[in-house]
Structure 1
Amino acid sequence: MEQQLSDDVGASDMRAVLVDSSSEEKSFRERLSTGHVVGLAMADVSPTMAVFLLSGAVFVSGGTLAAGVNILMMGVVVLIAMCLGELASMYPSAGGMYTLVRETLPAPFSWVTKFNYLLQGVIIPASIGIGIAQFLRDLYPTLPIPDAAIACMSIALAAFIAMTAVEVGAWLTGIMVFVELTVLGIVTVAGFTHAHQPIGELILHPVMLNAASNGTVAVGMVAIFASLAPAFNIINGYDAALGFAEELHGGRKNIGKAVVWSAIIASITIIVPLVAAMVAAPDLVAFLKAPSPVLYAVESAMGPWAKYVVDIGVTVALFNAALSLMMYFGRGLYATGRDGAWPQAINRRLASLNKHSVPAWATLALAVPACVLSFFSYLDWLVNFGGTMIAAVYFCIGLAAFWARISQPNVDRPFKMALWPLPPLVVIGFTGFALYSQGMQYLAGELVVIVVGLLCWQLSKKW
């Protein structure tokens, strides 16, 4: 018990300097249930966006391997969630994955994780804003507002809601997740009731386009390796449960349960409709050639009105994801200020909470650059680079989960991962290979992030 108290006090020394925990306005309040947190995480996952938009990259690189590789990813995702759940029950913090690495690995790893983590909080909302504009224009082609302006307004509205009481955000995201799941349910039923392809063949004998013959060819090892990195972008976002750890009531064990349940539900709600769409494809060649293969299959099964269902569903899903991301990453950036990561003047702003006990300044610090970024053409490259940053963060999480068992055996673990050391070893190996298989341009981008992180780590010694 003395060792545990010592560990807890040591981890919170800097927070105590920056935040007066005796003031209710300056600390989070436990107002969320496990269901609320899972709902917020599911909004971040955005299954509709994953099925209709993010899956396209896997169809390009691996054809119908998209079914098998996502089933494989489900196993990896659950193992990652086990690592996150144990670490989060040891160190429940709004800082999410950044805090877990900070508490278990040397400082350089913490800074590299921090930059990979926080950059996603700017890049992803910007890309989502552009996506909202594109789908709204598809619904209303004569809309007299530029896409960039629609994107900025969407980000601004999400940020505004994120700065209100957390229960409001949880309630709204819950409604929108229900709309998403309804749309995906329609897609799933339509797909399996209009089956054209045998499900076993799709999973066990995947094929991809053959440009030479204008037909299909069996998927080879090169395509399998190329499909791993984009698959990381599909089942992702369940870690958002960690950001609400300090607002979750019911004990530290519940945050471990929340992140594991989020990962399992996310995997099922993405994989099932994705397979249903593939089963419904009347022609595999036309399916794989389509700009949006899933949309092609849905329109074949449901008719032309499916386009409007999908447009509405994806627009709702995108805004829901933007709202959840603002709430999640805003809390992560708040935690960096509370931990004293930046110069004191910046820390004071980032570590402040508004009258709703929400980190308003930290949320604005992400929303403003996200709005600016939506005007630039290189956003597509940054979105693709997001898979590299995600893999880098999960690689550090695998290291943290493995090292914590060895270096911190006496720290209380209310939620304990099963099958140790298998989960962290698989996560380290899988994410390490995913990083290795990235294109050189994305590895170069990750090297820049690492260098900047290490430079700020050195500067922080003076701060």
Structure 2
Amino acid sequence: MKKPPNAVDTPPAAAGQSYTPSLSRTLGVGGNVLITLSSISPASSVFILGGAALTAFGTGVFWGFLIAGIVSILIAFCYAELASAYPVAGGDYSLVSRALGPAFGVATFLISLVSLPLIIAVFALGVADYLGVAIAGLSSQQTALVVVVICTVTACFNIRANAWLTGVFLFIEMAALALLAVLGLIHIERPVTTLFDPQTLDPATGGLAPLAIAGLMIAVTQGIFSYNGYGGAVYFAEETKNPSRAVAKAVLWSAGITVASELIPLTAILLGASSQEALFGSELPVEAFLADRAGDAVTLFVLLAVAFAIINAIIAIALQAGRLLYSAARDRALPEPLAARLRWVSPKGQSPVIATSVMGLIAFLACFVPLDVLLTATGSTLSFSYLFIALAAVNHRRRDRTRPGYRMPWWPLPPLVCIAALALVFVISFLDPAQWLSLGISVGFVVAGFTYYYLYLKPRSGTHLLLLDAVSEEDSR
């Protein structure tokens, strides 16, 4: 097959050989953080996931999201150390492949290959709900299809242009979160001590009742999912200047800002709501709080801001998805006829256009799948990705003690706490029959990844899955 122009054709590597940079290395720490935070979309997390958590867990949201924030920072330490040692595009797949082993890496790749486009579809199908406050009669599916196309085309542009664009939208959504925090803190209705006793709405009495420990643990898992995305900084390692230092900083800054920008508004809402019973009983608690404290006009503006925040997140995730597929193609983790096309980088924008477009096409098709099916298919994948990252951090420190780069504090506490927390998540999921399908699908992805590696890639180890070293520090400048 004739290869497209500018395809990266990397021969089998000698030890220590690194990739020749092909992407546009124009991002600083700030630009990386802007795109990463955009993919997390703290505003949509607060309104959608935070709102659902307020209804289900009441004041337990404070403790659940606080504990989840601590766990997320510890996971971020693992990401930062691995990203510093292996600053290669491809996100979790690249880190796990190099630090834990190619079989785990391929399983991680398959999880991300499926989950990223499905997450884009989930976000896109939710855009109409928020644009609908200003434009009546929008179809969720038709709106989603248009949004996916626009966002995919945008993600094919130069990375620096995307950083500026996502930064503008990010400023708008952070302003909306700041407004929520201010409204809660200037209308405080109860002391902080009321948060120390987790309580939720009792449907039988209409009053507050203590939240069970099991419910609190589920609130923690909801918080971890809400904060998810700070590891996305790794996808842009080859487009970030001085990556062995800058990407670690971008991960930690993204994690810290995310936790603060979600936990503070949610805490302010708990303290500033006129009635906690009414808040927890509302179908859309955050919107109800906003309408009560700011009025309908401000609420309309903020909900439109959330719509743009979701679109912003789709652009950022599309950027990540394209770099995942590009990195795997460059590693020859795919059959060569496919890999030769997917590792093409546009000469002008220095962007993996074909890989990004393919992932966008998958997301486009996923918009025709029922939303509950999409949610089920992506439900437990995050836990496996985090588990592999934590295990990779342990194995990296055990195997490569002399490798230069960032070293996480309190070693080995961060990865061990993460592994323990994730083990608890798996136990809770296993004990809840409602989670069995989601858990089973995720296990299926992992098994399929290991099967693909051992049956296809390992027998072709001389020509496939060539995990070259990170880009040299000289090339990174």
TM-score above 0.5: yes
Q: How big is each residue's C-alpha offset from its partner over 1:389-431, in whole Å with a ceiling of 9 and x where there is no partner?
A: 111100000000011111222322x211111101111111112
Unaligned 5+ residue runs, structure 2? Answer: 1-12, 430-434, 461-477
Match of 2:326 in 1: 334
Whether contact under 8 Å (1:139, 1:311) holds in the other structure is: no
* Aligned equivalents of 1:69, 1:139: Cα separation in 2: 34
Query: Tell me, what secondary structure is at the counterpart of 1:50?
Result: helix
Query: Separation in 2 of the partners of 1:303 and 1:11?
Result: 61
- Tell me if structure 2 keeps the 8 A contact 1:58–1:230: yes
128 and 92 in structure 1: CA distance in 2 versus 1, 3 angstrom threshold: same
| Paired-residue identity, % | 28
Q: 1:169 aligns with which of 162, 169, 177?
A: 162
Over aligned residues, Cα RMSD in angstroms? 1.7
Question: Are 1:152 and 2:151 matched, yes or no?
Answer: no
Please give the alpha-carbon distance, in whole angstroms, between the structure 1 residues aligned to 2:37 and 2:254. 6
Residue in 1 that maps onto 2:69: 74
Q: Which residue of 2 aligns with 1:94?
A: 89
Partner of 1:453: 449
Given residue 364 of structure 2, which amino acid in structure 1 is its aligned partner? C
Task: Describe the superposition over 1:165-184 as per-residue Cα deviations: whole angstroms up to 9, x where unpaired.
Answer: 11110000111111111111
Code of the residue aligned with 1:386 in structure 2: it is T
Shift of 1:193: 1.1
Structure 2 counterpart of 1:194, one-letter code:
H
User: Structure 2 CA distance, aligned partners of 1:130 and 1:341?
Assistant: 31
State how far apart, in whole Å, the 1-side matches of 2:146 and 2:91 are. Answer: 27
Residue equivalent to 2:129: 134
- Compute the displacement of 1:385 (Å): 4.7
Q: 2:49 aligns with which of 54, 60, 81?
A: 54
Among 208, 214, 218, the residue aligned to 2:206: 214
Structure 2 residue 260 is the aligned partner of structure 1 residue 264: no
Q: How does 1:248-263 map to 2 (within 5 A)?
A: 248-263=240-255
Q: Is the 8 A contact 1:257 1:415 kept in 2?
A: no
**Worse-superposed segment, 299-308 or 253-262:** 299-308
Greater alpha carbon shift after TM alignment, 447-456 vs 422-431: 447-456
Answering whether residue 422 of structure 2 is matched by residue 431 of structure 1, we say: yes
Q: CA deviation at 1:353?
A: 0.7
Could you tell me how far apart the structure 2 residues matched to 1:336 and 1:207 are? Answer: 47
Counterpart in 2 of 1:422? Answer: 413
Deviations 1:79-127 (A, max 9, x none): 1111111111110011111111000113321122112222221111101
Contact 1:41/1:237 (<8 A) preserved: yes
Give 2:15's aligned amino acid.
G
Runs of at least 5 residues in structure 1 that lack an aligned partner in the other structure: 1-7, 16-20
1:330/1:87 CA distance change after superposition, 3 Å: same
Asked whether 1:353 is paired with 2:345, we answer yes
- Aligned-pair distance for 1:364? 1.2
Cross-structure match for 2:307? 315
Residue 10 of structure 1 aligns with which residue? 15
2:401 is aligned to 409
Letter in 1 for 2:236: F
Letter in 2 for 1:446: S
Within-5 A mapping of 1:374-389: 374-377=367-370, 379-389=371-381
Give the corresponding residue for 1:18.
Answer: none
- Tell me, what secondary structure is at the counterpart of 1:376? coil
Amino acid at match of 1:39: L
Q: Could you list the runs of 4 or more consecutive aligned residues of structure 1 that deviate by over 6 angstroms after TM superposition?
A: none
Q: Distance in 2 between matches of 1:292 and 1:429?
A: 33
Determine the C-alpha separation between the residues in 2 that align with 1:152 and 1:174.
Answer: 24
Summarize deviations over 1:186-238 as a string: whole Å, max 9, x none: 11111111222323312x11111212222220111121122232222211111
Aligned twin of 1:196: 189
The CA distance in 1 between the partners of 2:373 and 2:223, in whole Å, is: 17
Structure 1 residues 208 and 168: alpha-carbon distance in aligned structure 2, compared to 1, 3 A threshold: same
Residue correspondences, number: 441
Residues 38 and 258, structure 1, Cα contact 8 Å, conserved in 2: yes
TM-score, normalised on structure 2? Answer: 0.89
Check conservation: 1:28, 1:357, Cα contact below 8 A: yes
Deviation at 1:380, TM superposition (A): 2.5
Q: Does the Cα contact within 8 Å between 2:36 and 2:316 map onto a contact in 1? A: yes
Measure, in 2, the Cα distance between the counterparts of 1:292 and 1:460.
48
Query: Which of 235, 245, 270 is the matching residue for 1:243?
Result: 235
Q: Name the aligned partner's letter for residue 130 of structure 2.
A: F
